[in-house]
A and B are shown apart, each in its own frame.
Chain A
Amino acid sequence: MISSFKKALESGKFVVTSEVAPPKGTNLEKMPHHIELLKDKVDAMNVTDHQSSVMRFPSLGGALLVKEMGGEPILQMTCRDRNRLALQADLLFAASRGINNVLCLTGDSVILGDHKEAKGVFDLDSSQLLAAIRRLEKGKDLGGNDLDGSVSFCAGAIVTPEADPIEPQLIKFEKKIEAGAEFIQTQAVYDLDNFKQFMDYAKQFPVKILAGIILLTSAPMARFMNKNVAGVNVPQELIDEMASAPKGRALDKGIEIAGRMIKRIKKEKMCDGVHIMAIGREELVPDILSAAGLI
């Protein structure tokens, strides 16, 4: 079965994805609200997998909820918490419920999260997980055994266009495509001239690329990301622009900047779409889309 997200990627339209984060606990009130708000405005919604190594309601459960509510989920899967048996089993379950988009990630270190004494698994890495998906599609598991029933996925991975050094990042990007990645959602990009340079290289590969957009919520938040988030580089002009916002209006400025960036990416046909990460402010995604002229 071809997922609607895959159809969107193949249609040549400007694709928009966003994300929803499962809750810490069983209170699912907020997530359905976000899903309801976004499901008809974006082509698919990523459901994060214990983001930043913080234990939460599972991404598979969240993806199921998106599906049940008529949205199009992208199941995020990290290699941190499950070995190859568990990863394959979850993929089989996802396929059985019509969850056919998967984003393959290594996963943050356990020590960055809220269960610092846990054992990091990393039985597979992100490239190997992509290859495992392609193998399941051929009817075989990683043990070489036949599967009863078929699966089909639209599998993706991430890349960090601002990585320093960039060369090994580009090599790994290529390797992920060879392993089976059909789409790439990038780490946040802010310097679009740099991003264009990355795209000049990336365009030669048969993969759809969605530029990562993280909503800036304040100047200190931008500085914090520069200092603490690997591969994120908010240029000084944007930090100054955020700081210039009147008191209490920083968020509006952040929405304006995100909208402006998306507009430019689309206008200049830099890549195939955008992946909007509002990190806890998902209710603002429609405002960003509106600022970008997309709705």
Chain B
Amino acid sequence: MLRSEQKPFEEILGYLEGENMVFILGCDGCAQASQTGGLPQVLEMKGRLEREGKKITGYKVVDFLCQKALVASALRPLEDRVMESDSVLVLCCGVGIQTSAAMILKPVHPGCNTINLGGSRGEWRGSERCMECGDCLLDYTGGICPLAACSKGLRNGACGGASNGRCEVSPEKPCGWELIYARLKETGRLDMLKKFVPPKAWNKMRPTPEMLSTSVWALEQGDGSIQEGIE
């Protein structure tokens, strides 16, 4: 899941300067869970923009804005309203905003900022974080990722800035390397701390072109029908 928060209303109004006819898109997935782009937020945004003198040509909350096929099928019946608009305001994460922009030949404005979860991945998310670095260090570090757990992402031990087990960036944050130390000690593997970890190959953190494709990549590569979008 991606977490988002709505942008300040003034910033959104700035994007819409000189545009009077606005279509609003929301998302019933992550943005609904984040309470930033579900139906209540879309309706609230509609009211606020109308009070600012904007004409809302229509709105739609799509199940998953990140899914191009769903975007296309949801918007096709509303095509006239979308196309008479000056622009589309999207209340969703960065993925949904980009999907909408790819599918709609109109200016698309982001209504939300997507919050970095520091590598929260997987179907069932707890406190563990994976930064998808492409070169796993977890053997050295007792199964706690130093890139995610240390605020500096250090690879060879603590920086010395922690006090009482808390990171120098915030008393709320535990020192990742103290967690790693405790785990290695508990499991009798403190010798791992002595190993020199060489400079990291950050280029492995860049996704390959096929990794940049979506789960419906195969469909997208197919007959192109779902790519037609709204024009």
Interface residues of A (CB under 8 A from B): 80, 84, 106-109, 111-112, 120, 122-128, 131-132, 142, 158, 160, 163-165, 167-169, 171-172, 174-175, 178-179, 187, 230-231
Contacts and interface: CB of A to CB of B under 8 A. Distances in A.
Interface string B188-231: 00100110111110100000000000000000000000000000
A23 to B, nearest CB: 25
B161 A230 contact: yes
A214 to B, nearest CB: 15
Given A112-B169, A131-B196, 6 more contacts: A106-B160, A125-B152, A126-B156, A128-B199, A164-B164, A172-B156
B157 A127 contact: yes
B154 A163 contact: no
Interface string B175-199: 0011001000100001001101111
Given A109-B152, A168-B177, A175-B157, A123 B196 contact: no
In the A-B complex, the 8 residue pairs with the closest CB atoms: A172-B157, A106-B159, A127-B156, A230-B163, A168-B181, A171-B193, A122-B152, A125-B154
B40 interface: no
A84 B199 contact: yes
B162 A168 contact: no
Given A108-B168, A112-B168, A165-B178, A172 B158 contact: yes
B181 A109 contact: no
A123 B168 CA distance: 19
B196 A175 contact: yes
Contacts of B193: 168, 171-172, 175
A168 B178 contact: yes
A109 B169 contact: yes
